[in-house]
Amino acid sequence: MTATTDGSTGAPPGRADPVTVTTPAGLTGRPPGDGSAGLREAAALAARRATDLLLATQDAEGWWKGDLETNVTMDAEDLLLRRFLGILDEETAHAAALFVRGRQREDGTWATFHGGPADLSTTVEAYVALRLAGDTPDAPHMARAAAWIRAQGGIAATRVFTRIWLALFGWWRWQDLPELPPEMLFLPKWFPLNIYDFGCWARQTIVPLTVVSAKRPVRPAPFPLDELRAGPAGRTPAPPASAAGWDGFFQRVDSALRRYRKVAPAPLRRAAMNAAARWIVERQENDGCWGGIQPPHVYSLIALHLLGYDLGHPVMRAGVEALDRFAVRREDGSRMIEACQSPVWDTCLAVIALADAGLPADHPQLVKAADWMLGEQVVRPGDWSVRRPGLPPGGWAFEFHNDNYPDMDDTAEVVLALRRVAHHDPQRVEHAVARGVRWNLGMQSAGGGWGAFDADNTGALPNRLPFCDFGEVVDPPSADVTAHVVEMLAAEGRADDPRTRRGVDWLLREQEPDGSWFGRWGVNYLYGTGSAVPALIAAGLPTGHQAVRRAVAWLRSVQNADGGWGEDLRSYREPGRWAGRGDSTASQTGWALMALLAAGERGSEAVERGVAWLVATQREDGGWDEPQFTGTGFPWDFSINYHLYRQVFPLTALGRYLNGEPFAAKAR
């Protein structure tokens, strides 16, 4: 592959003839036969090493959590928030700057994922963060960044959310941002563009932003940003008022809202602000955060502060204290901010991996993990109940504290994990599983699939709003989530349930023409396919079904020459060029192997070359290196490197290669 001048990979890897991969046992990457003794021995050793490492990283309370790495906008916005609230200290700024500076590329830019192209908004936010930390514009690394930013159109060409942060300090004009009135909270739930038409992550962000938009605060800027302006500081270009289509329509709506701002009745605006404050406070989690994710956390603190909540108020104090729990202190003294934390997700995946690798079901560490997961079940209604008011709660969330927003994905995988453990209180497990299954079934969308957090959250309008220029803001069903739910229902003996069959039919309809499935929450077609095939087999499709055979053929066609599999995030924008293509990674190789093994391909050349690649690339300590981002927040726009993925998915694949079908398939 050729690297471009911005440090990104210019083209997907080619499909040359397979090359030889040498494992620690001296085995080549193309071993003969079905489960040759040499490969099985090497795979068993790799699985033991990976098991030992995973067991060693479990917390004393029973959970696992790997770092959740995203990009430097999290670190930049943390510094901007602290500066806005007046709580930025020199040590925090220095540690954050070390991390941000360490992610800058030679040309002065920052990307949103490892090896990806430079991103303008990310580069602007990183530049501002370094200025806050004391880096000067004439420093070589800053001058390179500023020159690149100007060449891309400067501040005016950044996304709306970046310009909101700049507006807080007077670096951008509030009147040149889309209008977002707090009165939208009063829209009834049946009305288009009410807050429940948005996905939960967007909803939690939009509500506090309505307050910020109404207040239009400006803190004195600590320095100018003239060096980042490519031209006048005026409004970004917009479609003409006469433009046809949705752009023109929403521009006219925005113009109407600007006129409304000037005449908005003061009592109504005050009532809307108070309603927003109540909404925000009611959704603060027990640990002080909002939804367990960074965006609503920071905007909620800003909104409440603007509404008169001082830093000593219990809500604000808890929120500020929670900020530091998102910080990861690194050995070099730097400080990385996690956009979110994933203990429930990591724990259930770790339990599945360890059990499938052969750890006894009554192993004390598995039992401890099950105890912890049982204690994390959400037993009170949240925002999801707006669309499902009669459905009893019973799901699991992704984070330590997020009782408002459990999700279907975690719930399905936790149930699968609990069924792999011989718990000392089986009645407690049965009760928890029954509640989880009932909740998942009740959250099925009308078309037969499952979204992540809400049912039937499929509106087309929210994504077209002017301020929604960064990532998805709705939560439609996806192949990966639907597959995990279907697999769980099959494991619970519900393969013939009409709702499960509707999920199977939805998956079959969603298969891509090339035989793959789109991956909403993981990168990308490898993740979707690695989820869908095991689910369909668990639900009763024969391995000879044409959908399964097409998936197998696609996986074989995209296997890398080294025996592994990999897919770059650019497949979200250029599927024809990048789908299933990228440097081999441990997690994505695990996904491909999980699909092939479920499809009855154990002993095939593709499987054995993939297993050999995992064995060959394993470190001595039992782990794998994986700088690539294989998780997805918003397709293309926001990417994640789950540090535990490189451990759990290879181990799951090795375990299923060595031990046969996973527990879920055997339970039918």
Which residues are the active-site residues? 409
- Cα 24–chain centre separation: 34
- The label of the residue with tokens 């219990």 reads 314
CA trace torsion 399, 570, 9, 100 (10° rounding): -30
**Full DSSP string of 384-433:** GGGT-TTPPP--B-SSSS-TT--BHHHHHHHHHHHTTS--S-HHHHHHHH
Q: Which residue has the tokens 């759990």?
A: 648
Residue located via tokens 């005449």: 263
Q: Enumerate residues 6+ apart whose C-beta is below 8 A from 254.
A: 178, 179, 466
Q: Is 118 helix (H, G, I), strand (E, B) or coil?
A: strand
Instruction: Please state, in angstroms and rounded to a whole number, the distance separating the CA atoms of residues 302 and 299.
Output: 5
Beta-carbon contacts of residue 90 (< 8 Å; ≥ 6 apart) = none
Pairing of strands 631-634, 68-69: unpaired
What is the C-alpha to C-alpha distance for residues 549 and 536, in angstroms, rounded to an integer? 12
DSSP state of 2: -
> Which residue do the tokens 């809500």 mark?
315
Task: Tell me the longest C-alpha to C-alpha distance in the chain.
Answer: 79
CA 490, 496, 500, 504 dihedral sign is: positive
Using DSSP, state whether 638 is helix, strand or coil.
strand
Q: Are 612 and 23 in contact (CB under 8 A)?
A: yes
End-to-end CA distance of the chain: 45
Q: Which residues contact 258 (CB under 8 A, 6 or more apart)?
A: 175, 179
Sign of dihedral through CA atoms 284, 285, 289, 290? negative
Query: Residue 3 burial by CB count (10 A; 0-12/13-18/19+): exposed, middle or buried?
Result: exposed
Query: How many CB atoms neighbour CB 440 within 10 A?
Result: 26
**Residues contacting residue 186 through CB under 8 Å, at least 6 positions apart:** 272, 275
